[in-house]
């Protein structure tokens, strides 16, 4: 990756740090800590494999945050989940385009995931 795509991914990493900080602001001591991810062999070997990895993860994240908005009790936490979900959907669009090496239309309505389904989708990537 290089140029605009690399710049975008560096910015997206900053977004993820901001998401964590926003969640920590609401969850306080209940914020998950020390999460570690593992990645399949070759996940960073090519532009396409990076796009596919990002697409898999961001699909789970978008679905999880959308599901959280409907299942959480705290309006403050719902608002943070909606904000993060909106940002994650932008990441998903960019990474889907990278994986396909084309401009891919976004779905009209992304899939909403329950907490259990979102956990199942990211479990292969947790160390």
Predicted local confidence at residue 74, as pLDDT: 92
Range of the domain at 49: 3-125
Query: Do the beta carbons of residue 100 and residue 52 sit within 8 Å?
Result: no
Pairwise CA distance, residues 87 & 68, whole Å: 15
Beta strands in the chain (DSSP E): none
Predicted local confidence at residue 126, as pLDDT: 93
Predicted local confidence at residue 73, as pLDDT: 92
Predicted local confidence at residue 38, as pLDDT: 94
Task: Count the domains in the chain.
Answer: 1
Predicted local confidence at residue 86, as pLDDT: 94
Give the predicted TM-score (pTM) of the model: 0.88
Predicted local confidence at residue 2, as pLDDT: 82
Predicted local confidence at residue 105, as pLDDT: 86
Q: Give the count of beta carbons closer than 10 Å to the beta carbon of residue 43.
A: 15
Q: Which residues of the chain have pLDDT under 50?
A: none
The conformation of residue 30, written as its DSSP 8-state character, comes to G
């Amino acid at each position: 990756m290089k140029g605009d795509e690399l710049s975008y991914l560096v910015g997206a990493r900053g977004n993820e740090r901001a998401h964590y900080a926003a969640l920590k602001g609401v969850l306080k001591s209940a914020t998950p800590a020390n999460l570690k991810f593992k990645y399949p062999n070759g996940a960073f070997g090519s532009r396409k494999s990076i796009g596919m990895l990002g697409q898999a993860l961001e699909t789970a994240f978008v679905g999880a945050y959308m599901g959280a908005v409907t299942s959480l009790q705290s309006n403050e936490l719902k608002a943070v989940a909606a904000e993060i979900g909106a940002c994650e959907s932008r990441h998903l669009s960019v990474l889907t385009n990278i994986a396909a090496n084309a401009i891919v239309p976004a779905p009209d309505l992304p899939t909403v995931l329950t907490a259990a389904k979102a956990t199942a989708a990211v479990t292969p990537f947790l160390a």
